[in-house]
Amino acid sequence: MAFFNNFVEKAKSAGKKVGDKTTQTVEVSKLKYKKGDLDNKIKAKYYEIGKSVFEKYKEGTVIDSDIADACGEIIKYEAEIADLEKEINKAKGGKTCPSCKKFVDAQFAFCPYCQTALEDETEAAAVDVDVTIDEAPSTESEAEGSEGEAQ
């Protein structure tokens, strides 16, 4: 019986050890989860702080030059993102509303989300070139539209 008792004790202590390990692991992951949660809360606060500073920068509030540099970089990245979104929408066969930045089907003349007039980008570019190169602006003579024949 001594052998059996010894065996039972060994098994018990082995079980206890395993149990301890399990409890430990659960406890560690609980604590890690709490720590991760706090880490995320800090990151969210960092983001909030950064965003409020960035808003001040955009409003023209004078801030430290290193912060201003960082804000300038954000502006640059935002412009790049906007360009990429335009490219993505173009690749998807549509266009980007210049006002609300949403994807709009290529055939729409007005944005269905915000009713902004949509221009075809290639046509708009061509019109710009025509306007700058053609005749000098004579006041309110648009309706005539004849290029020098009337004079």
Which residues bind to Zn ion, rule: CB under 5 A?
97, 99-100, 111, 113-114, 116
d(CA 62, CA 51): 15
Nearest residue (CB) to Zn ion, 77 versus 108: 108
Nearest to 117 by CA among 138, 134, 95: 95
Minimum distance from CB of 90 to Zn ion (Å)?
A: 16
What is the smallest separation between the CB atom of 100 and Zn ion, expressed in angstroms? 3
The structure tokens listed for 34 are: 């709490």
- Of 57, 88, 59, 60, the C-alpha closest to 74 is 57
Q: Which is nearer to Zn ion, 71 or 111 (CB)?
A: 111
Q: Are 95 and 106 in contact (CB under 8 A)?
A: yes
CB of 101 to Zn ion, least distance (A): 7
Looking at the Cβ atoms of 57 and 95, the one nearer to Zn ion is: 95
SS3 15: helix
CB closer to Zn ion out of 71 and 97:
97
Q: What's the closest the beta carbon of residue 85 comes to Zn ion, in angstroms?
A: 13
